[in-house]
Amino acid sequence: MADPTLKQTPPAGPGRPLSGRYFHNQDVFQQEQKSLFTGAWLCAGHSSELEEVGDYFTRYLGHEPLLFSRSEAGVQGFYNVCRHRGTRLVEAECGHGAKNFQCPYHAWTYGLDGTLIGAPRMRGVEGFDPAKLGLLPIPTEEWNGFIFYRLATPLESDAEPGSVAEQMLDFPDISAYGCEDLVSTSRKRYEVKANWKVLCQNYGECYHCALVHPQLNEISNYLSGGDQKQGDCFVGGPMTLNEGYNTMNMTGLTDRPSLPGVEEADERDVLFYNVYPNFLLSLHRDYVISHVLWPTGPETTTIVCDWLFHRDEAKQSDFDDSSEVEFWHVTNQQDWAICEQTQLGARSRGYRPVMYQEGEGCLAEFDRWYLGAMGDSGVLSADTLQIEKCSA
Ligand code: FES
Ligand SMILES: [Fe+2]
């Protein structure tokens, strides 16, 4: 039966949200894994999460278990899958001081660089060549202090990927924030019952802020957004702090100095960028927040949020990030709650999205990028048509 949400005629206006199946359909989710999450460089987190040799963390992207670690050779990524019979190798979310990774099933053991260094009672077994049985690697690169990885398509598995810098060519220059000199001082992980795009769309507008985030709106008015910026790899823009405030935290006030490269003229701006597809980067004059969205299913997303402060600041004996953490933790929870409500509506036969408001330009731009990146995969043709009409 035809999807009833596709029968509606797009109204005149700045754009119409995607139809409901994009937020809950398993086929769409699978297509996204192929078209958006394979082949492109994706952010895994901040480099300070892998500060020392022996540090590691694990994540799931869809059904792919991934492992990131630091060995003597630097930051590396692997499929978190044992080469013997495929058991997920590392269960812990993160850890420090690891010497190796041992499979919990039959004790095959891998070095931090993925090399197979132990396999009980396998010596002499015909065809067993430890040199060829290391963990399957995933290319990783660092960009502005963040770790990026790239899941190759089967056809590309032997090809040398282009660099992250190439992919990020038209991203605004954020060197003033010195993200490579920051460290994560606090991290929170959230399990949200919402499609990852609902969360991106929520991040892309502050039309909801007056009602959903009264404390944020007090510090930065929801109408304070500056010019939208967009490119092949991102969409976003600034908001401005209200008069009398100098940062985003529980009081809106801090004695903390600005990050060394941030100019006085830019101190009142907070920059919010969605680096496609799933990396949300929020740059304040004195600290940075990153949200990495890890879609685990059509209607579920793991979100890892890091609070990043300058390394020297974080070393101070009186360093205290609790006000910034509480402010964004409260804001995050408000966002996740409203996104879960949106997700519930997106499944309904009554889901008839009407149009974007003027302040939701980033959402229409996100949709244009999304449908373009998804390509002509058959299930998408009706919405591709829709977005063409909306952009006229
Ligand atoms: S599955 Fe890992 S050692 Fe057997
Ligand atoms: Fe919000």
Q: Which ligand is nearest to the CA of 119?
A: 1
**Relative to the CA of 85, which ligand 1 atom is closest?**
1
In angstroms, the CA 268 to CA 340 distance is 32
**Residue 185: partners with Cβ closer than 8 Å, 6 or more residues away:** 307, 308, 309, 314, 319, 321
Q: How distant, in Å, are the alpha carbons of 57, 66, 123, 162, 175 from that of 108?
A: 19, 18, 12, 33, 43
Same fold yes or no, 42-167 and 175-350:
no
Task: Provide, rounded to the nearest whole percent, the portion of the chain with pLDDT above 90.
Answer: 84
Question: Cα dihedral angle (206, 207, 208, 211), rounded to 10 degrees?
Answer: 110
**103 Cβ below 6 A of ligand 1:** yes
**Residue 221: partners with Cβ closer than 8 Å, 6 or more residues away:** 240, 242
Q: Identify the residue whose C-alpha is closest to ligand 1 atom 3.
A: 106
**Relative to the CA of 107, which ligand 1 atom is closest?**
3
Higher pLDDT, 224 or 140: 140
Q: Identify the residue whose C-alpha is closest to ligand 1 atom 4.
A: 106
pLDDT of residue 391: 34
Report the chain's terminal Cα–Cα distance, integer Å: 30
For residue 383, pLDDT over 70 is answered with no
pLDDT of residue 77: 97
Higher pLDDT, 166 or 158: 166
Q: Decide: 234 and 203 in contact? Cβ < 8 Å.
A: no
**82 Cβ below 6 A of ligand 1:** yes
Write out pLDDT tens, residues 70-84.
999 999 999 999 999
**88 Cβ below 6 A of ligand 1:** no
Number of helical (H) and strand (E) elements in the chain, helices listed first: 9, 18
For residue 47, pLDDT over 50 is answered with yes
| Residue 390 banded pLDDT, cuts 50, 70, 90 | very low
Q: Decide: 260 and 178 in contact? Cβ < 8 Å.
A: yes
**85 Cβ below 6 A of ligand 1:** yes
CB-side neighbour CA atoms (13 Å) of 241? 21
**Relative to the CA of 86, which ligand 1 atom is closest?**
1
Q: Decide: 31 and 37 in contact? Cβ < 8 Å.
A: no
pLDDT of residue 5: 39
In angstroms, the CA 251 to CA 62 distance is 38
Ligand 2 geometric centre to CA of 338 (Å): 9
For residue 13, pLDDT over 50 is answered with no
Q: If you average pLDDT over residues 346-354, what whole number do you get? A: 91
Structure tokens belonging to residue 104: 């919990």
Ligand 1 geometric centre to CA of 88 (Å): 9
For residue 157, pLDDT over 90 is answered with no
For residue 11, pLDDT over 70 is answered with no
Q: If you average pLDDT over residues 94-101, what whole number do you get? A: 98
- How high does pLDDT run on average in the chain? 91
pLDDT of residue 113: 97
Long-range contacts, 208-212 (Cβ 8 Å, 24+):
208/338, 212/334, 212/335, 212/338
Ligand 2 geometric centre to CA of 36 (Å): 24
pLDDT of residue 57: 98
**119 Cβ below 6 A of ligand 1:** no
**106 Cβ below 6 A of ligand 1:** yes
| Residue 8 banded pLDDT, cuts 50, 70, 90 | very low
Task: Provide, rounded to the nearest whole percent, the portion of the chain with pLDDT above 70.
Answer: 90
Domain coordinates of the chain in residue numbers?
Answer: 42-167, 175-350
Q: Does domain 175-350 have CATH number 3.30.230.10?
A: no
Which one of 67, 78, 83, 87 would you pick to mutate in the ligand 1 pocket, going by the greatest count of ligand atoms within 8 A of its CB? 87
In angstroms, the CA 182 to CA 321 distance is 13
Write out pLDDT tens, residues 190-224.
999 999 999 999 999 999 999 999 999 999 988 88
**Other CB atoms closer than 10 Å to residue 124's CB: what's the count?**
6
| Residue 160 banded pLDDT, cuts 50, 70, 90 | low
**Choices 1.10.10.10, 3.90.190.20, 3.30.70.100, 2.102.10.10: CATH for 42-167:** 2.102.10.10
Q: In sequence order, what E strands does the chain have?
A: 41-46, 56-61, 64-71, 74-79, 94-95, 100-102, 109-111, 116-118, 137-138, 140-143, 146-150, 182-192, 229-230, 234-240, 269-275, 279-283, 288-297, 300-310
**135 Cβ below 6 A of ligand 1:** no
Q: If you average pLDDT over residues 231-258, what whole number do you get? A: 96
Q: Decide: 63 and 295 in contact? Cβ < 8 Å.
A: no
**Other CB atoms closer than 10 Å to residue 301's CB: what's the count?**
25
